[in-house]
Amino acid sequence: RRSTSAPPTMPPRRLLHPRARAAYLLAATLALGAGPAAAQRPPADTATAGVARADTAAARLAAAEAGPARFAPGRDVSLGFAATAHALTAPARWGAREWLAIPTATAGLAALSLADARVDHFVDRDRRGFKNTLLNTIEPLGAEASIPIVVATYVAGIALDRPGLRRTGVEAAASSVAAAGVITPLLKKAVGRARPRQHLGSHHFDPFGGDVSFPSGHTTQAFAIASVFAAEAHPLWARIAAYGLASGVGVARMYHGAHFASDVAGGALIGTLVGRGVVRFGRSRVRVAPAAGGAGVAIAF
């Protein structure tokens, strides 16, 4: 007897898990806390004077934030391009110390890769329960969900008149483009490592052959942004939350069989180094010009 009931239909697939809102709310709160304390609008007398003691780097930064507080998109775009170029051309300015760090980091990742197969074997990939929901929620923060967070950080800096928060958004965008948009994709192609879910082993490499497991792009993106937020944040909870969410992205990628532990470690290393380098460059754009009375007027470029 033929059934007349219609076959069950699958519900439409959602791009992001509904519970992702919680992670985005946390990330947005983190972004609002990422602006330096100096980015807050100073008292009227300080803003009018525009002068601060220049005996410490903190005083110079505070004076800079109190000075050119007006929204200048051209200056922000210039900073973004300059910071990205600075990150991509960093090897040209390296000294012996930086070049010696490359084989050290490579040796560390190679040593970690010896345990990749064992770590992957013990990764619990049970697709049920709270853990599954949590990792599915966090993982997009290393991909498409990170873009609105960076944009929201920049827009919040404009809306709240906080130039330090605005600069944080620019630095996060520059770090993301340099680390996850250029460096990691090039390394992926050159290394050609197979993913865990391909079941070819943890040491299957085919340079320029199409495999792209090392390093983890999601983890690079997450740490490139998190390192900027953490470097610019004053509250300890904001730094912990930034690196905690980024680490969760790496765990999610291993959970889904996309990367080995050394892939995640490599992505975290690249993202962190680029992000912190971009922040240092952004702060170097603040310099102090001599003024009468031993004070200095901070000028941001």
- pLDDT of residue 37 exceeding 50, the answer is no
Percent pLDDT > 70 in the chain is 71
Q: pLDDT band for 46, please (50, 70, 90 cuts).
A: very low
Q: With a cut of 70, say whether residue 33 has pLDDT above it.
A: no
20-27 mean pLDDT: 55
What average pLDDT does this structure show over 66-79? 74
For the stretch 244-298, pLDDT in tens is: 999 999 999 999 999 999 999 999 999 999 999 999 999 988 554 444 444 444 4
Total Cβ atoms within 10 A of residue 139:
25
pLDDT one-digit tens code per residue, 131-143: 899 999 999 999 9
Reported confidence tier of residue 44, pLDDT bands at 50, 70, 90: very low
* 41-50, 208-217, 234-243, 270-279: least confident range: 41-50
Query: Any idea which of 52-56, 68-72, 99-103 has the lowest mean pLDDT?
Result: 52-56
Q: What is the DSSP string of the chain?
A: ----SPPPPPPPPPSS-TTHHHHHHHHHHHHHHHS-GGGSPPPHHHHHH--B--SSHHHHHHHHHHSS-S--HHHHHHHHHHHHHHHHTGGGG--HHHHHHHHHHHHHHHHHHTTHHHHHHH------HHHHHHHHHHGGGGTTTHHHHHHHHHHHHHHTT-HHHHHHHHHHHHHHHHIIIIIHHHHHHHH-BPPGGGTS-TT-B-TTSS---SS-HHHHHHHHHHHHHHHH--SHHHHHHHHHHHHHHHHHHHHTTS--HHHHHHHHHHHHHHHHHHHHHHHHTEEEEE-GGG-EEEEE-
Mean pLDDT of the chain: 81
pLDDT of residue 54: 39
Does the pLDDT of residue 39 top 60, yes or no? no
Under the banding of pLDDT at 50, 70 and 90, the label for residue 231 is: very high
Quick one: what percent of the chain has pLDDT higher than 90?
A: 64
